[in-house]
Amino acid sequence: MIMNELKKVLLDVDITLTELASILGKKLNKNYSVQNLSNKLNKETISHKEMLIIADILGYDLKFVPKK
The full set of domain ranges for the chain reads 2-58
Give the confidence band of 18 by pLDDT, cuts at 50, 70, 90. very high
Helix (H) / strand (E) element for 19: namely: helix 17-28
Tell me what the mean pLDDT of segment 26-41 comes to: 92
Q: Is the pLDDT of residue 2 over 90?
A: no
Find the radius of gyration of the CA atoms of the chain.
12
Name the band, by pLDDT with cuts 50, 70 and 90, for residue 23: very high
